[in-house]
Structure 1
Amino acid sequence: MTMPTLEDAQALDRADPLAAFRQRFSLPENVIYLDGNSLGPLPVETPRRVAEAVAKEWGDGLVTSWNDAGWVDAPHRIGDKIARVIGARPGEVVVTDSTSVNLYKLIMAAAPLSPGRTEILTERGNFPSDLYVAEGAARTLGLELRVVDRDDLVGAMSSATALVMLTQVDYRSGYRHDIAAMNRIAAGHDVRIVWDLSHSIGTVPLDLGRDGVELAIGCGYKHLNGGPGAPAFLYVAKALQDKITSPISGWFGHASPFVFDARYQPAPGISRFLAGTPPILSMVALEAGVDLMLEVDQNALFAKSAQLFDLFALLVAARCPELRPVSPDDPATRGGHISFAHDHAYEIIQALIARGVIGDFRTPDVARFGITPLYTRFEDIWRAVDILDDIMARKIWQEPQYAVRRVVT
């Protein structure tokens, strides 16, 4: 097979219908950024919008901006925009808190809907923070957290299962669950699934209404490009909203927060899952990223993602065969990143970063590369593998500075 050349990659970029979106991001010169699945880059519009919120809305408007600038509506306004990205209806998504806090809310709210059951079920490879949250929630509810291998999930669902908690796209390998199929299986056991969509939104087409999703959370700072620590989102299907109540009875989740009633009365609908005062400057930054995502056809986005993945996989197999692929070959069973295993994956990633190719490492031995189609070019993939080939061929990764472990990997 003839290997694609740099010129071939550049030709693909010229034909790319999404190419213009790269100019909508502030990307540093001489850097190939392949870590948008950890932190999305800065949209060009965000600094202007945040500066306006600081100087005009906060500086001039002061407290009146809660009404006049729409601050008080931000969790719902941005939530409704995210709903359009994930195939939800208006009033089913709210932006609030972090993914961990939102996951806790949904587990604590939904598990009691199945009284008499004894366990929360999840898979062993789930994102560790999700496992920590689920363990704490299960302990509080007097339930067992049952953790099984992915292949055993279906067989593990039973009349003892109160709730299943899953991440659609695996944070290490990129493996993607079939949401619709898993929901059908769970429904056969009268079980609900809480889905973590943090590595899904902005990478794979989603249609939560069509696929029978009742409960989900997701991240704002990865593919939504909302900035470091951006607020997360929480989804509850309309039919379920007034049957459950958030375990965190905050004032923004009150039916009449500005009446200042001493007794808590949950707000109707999705509003009851709000808690404290929204972090407006973070909300403003997130909204700029979400607005950008709304311009994109999600199917076109994933089609390009599949092309980028295939180019990356082909080049690495030919030029760096010592890296073992761990991501699924089939686009229908993967998300938006590609991963390889190597005993010295950490050192390899550090050597790449020193050469201007930013990927990341996941324990114990995974080098992970986000291939976000909005700003990643085919040329970027070709050049990244070319640098990787040089690092492997000359064993540059063995230089001692690359073995020094940093706090954030």
Structure 2
Amino acid sequence: MTTVDAGAARAASDRLADEAAALDAADPLGGLRAQFIGSESSLVYFDGNSLGRPLRRSAERLRAFVHEQWGGRLIRGWDESWMQLPFEIGDVLGRSVIGAAPGQTVIGDSATVLLYKLIRAAFDAQRAADPARVEIVVDTDNFPTDRYLVEGIAAERGGRVRWIEVDRSSGVTAEALRAAVGPETAVVVLSQIAYRSGYLADAETLTEITHDAGALVLWDLCHSAGSVAIQADVWGFDLAVGCTYKYLNGGPGSPAFAYVAQRHQALLAQPIQGWMGAADVFAMGPEYAPAAGMRRFLSGTPPIVGMLALQDTLAMIEDLGIDAIRRKSVALTEFAIRLSDEMLAPLGVGVASPRDARERGGHVTLQHPSMRAVTARLWRQDVIPDYRNPGGLRIGLSPLSTSFAETLAGMVAVRDAVVAETA
């Protein structure tokens, strides 16, 4: 590198560092970063869309629970508070994150189990009302769990799958869904944000199209809850399932949430009949009778410890409002795309996510044939993105815990790793 080239590189680096510092100084959410464990380290975390950082207050909450509630109250805790916790936390999540009125959201089970329960319950109800409705509609680029479950449920219940072919750099459009639904459609299963590209679906329009065809829609909110605005009630959602360990910082394997619109609750029979979903939990009767409301969608004993940390992020979201969080998310992803255009595009790296913020969720996918090796190299350097086939490196920018300076440091590291892997 010549002296002129080196000087230009230093000037560009200084300019970007100044820009990141200015963005951080102007960020109204910037002060929240210090509340997350690990944020003080030099590690760059680009995987908040897979597992969020823990809040410091959550560590104290868990410690206090072990010593005071579990250790102090023991079995009495169930009567005193734990039995209602899935519904109480569910209502807070419904109100602050997905725009749901009380009594429609509950915490419990993994996302896979909740998806199975609700998809199958919806399919059975639809087919009982109209035997011609035998199709479950899903797109070819939906998350693997969703696709696998749909195939399994269709085989189990004598239905069939109607596939929507999609562009992996975007997702399901209104035109594609209209072409797929009809009088044989029972249920449509869609993700609000495509896990690969970060494409943000028009949930309101797609829900309306589904209803016009006489079908029910289940929204997978795993990659959107806590990062984008959701209005489940206003948009007319029928069903939804989402993770709590991504943008909601519930911790590894924290239980998922289920939303069932009140108008459907009495009509749906969930297929995993356990004691916790019975009308009288402690009757231990000879026959199963489902509870009213959201309790009927529970099966076994609620994972109380697993849902504790979630409360702290929910409190933060409720205080800030999801619109402020979304603004920060958009600013972060726009900054990452600008950095990619300047530093990575000359190396042959493309942006495989929508450039229009109205069509983009909280992560950006960078495309290059060497990205699997680049990801492995970055992990060894304490820069943590994740990899998705084919050739996609995902930059997951959690708006509550990620700074612009961290984003810049990570993108510089991506550039250097690409150079090293392609030299």
- Superposition TM-score tier, normalisation by shorter sequence: over 0.9
Q: Conserved in 2, the CA contact under 8 Å of 1:219 and 1:233? A: yes
Q: Select which of 29, 36, 42 maps to 1:30.
A: 42
Q: Conserved in 1, the CA contact under 8 Å of 2:61 and 2:308? A: yes
Q: Select which of 315, 323, 327 maps to 2:339.
A: 315
Query: What's the counterpart of residue 287 of structure 2?
Result: 263
Query: What's the counterpart of residue 362 of structure 1?
Result: 388
Query: What's the counterpart of residue 21 of structure 2?
Result: 10
Q: Distance in 2 between matches of 1:145 and 1:288?
A: 40
Q: Select which of 272, 275, 278 maps to 2:299.
A: 275
Query: What's the counterpart of residue 100 of structure 2?
Result: 88
User: How many residues end up aligned between the 2 structures?
Assistant: 395
1:245 aligns with 2:256: no
Q: Secondary structure at the match of 1:21?
A: helix
Query: What's the counterpart of residue 366 of structure 2?
Result: 340
- 1:47 corresponds to which letter in structure 2? A
Q: Secondary structure at the match of 1:382?
A: helix
Q: Select which of 133, 143, 146 maps to 1:127.
A: 143
Query: What's the counterpart of residue 183 of structure 1?
Result: 207
- 2:272 corresponds to which letter in structure 1? I
- 1:45 corresponds to which letter in structure 2? R
Query: What's the counterpart of residue 108 of structure 1?
Result: 120
Q: Distance in 1 between matches of 2:380 and 2:322?
A: 33
Question: Which deviations, in whole Å up to 9, do the C-alpha atoms of 1:115-146 show, x marking residues without a partner?
Answer: 22121110000000111111111111110122
Q: Which runs of 5+ in 1 are unaligned?
A: 400-409
Q: Provide TM-score, normalisation by structure 2.
A: 0.91
Q: Conserved in 2, the CA contact under 8 Å of 1:225 and 1:290? A: no
4+ aligned runs moved over 3 Å, structure 1 = none
Query: What's the counterpart of residue 65 of structure 2?
Result: 53
Q: CA deviation at 1:264?
A: 0.7
Q: Conserved in 2, the CA contact under 8 Å of 1:347 and 1:398? A: no
Q: Conserved in 2, the CA contact under 8 Å of 1:26 and 1:41? A: yes
TM-align CA RMSD: 1.5
Q: Conserved in 1, the CA contact under 8 Å of 2:365 and 2:395? A: yes
Q: Secondary structure at the match of 1:42?
A: coil
- 1:42 corresponds to which letter in structure 2? P
Alignment of 1:165-314 (within 5 A): 165-314=189-338
Q: Distance in 2 between matches of 1:33 and 1:277?
A: 34
Question: Which deviations, in whole Å up to 9, do the C-alpha atoms of 1:279-310 show, x marking residues without a partner?
Answer: 11112122233233322221111111111111
Query: What's the counterpart of residue 90 of structure 2?
Result: 79
Q: Which runs of 5+ in 2 are unaligned?
A: 1-10, 167-172
Q: Distance in 1 between matches of 2:311 and 2:325?
A: 20
Question: Which deviations, in whole Å up to 9, do the C-alpha atoms of 1:339-395 show, x marking residues without a partner?
Answer: 0111111111122222222100011211001111111111111111222222233x2
Q: Provide TM-score, normalisation by structure 1.
A: 0.94
Q: Distance in 2 between matches of 1:246 and 1:114?
A: 13
Query: What's the counterpart of residue 156 of structure 1?
Result: 180
> Among the aligned pairs, what percent are the same residue?
37
Alignment of 1:370-381 (within 5 A): 370-381=396-407
Q: Conserved in 1, the CA contact under 8 Å of 2:177 and 2:209? A: no
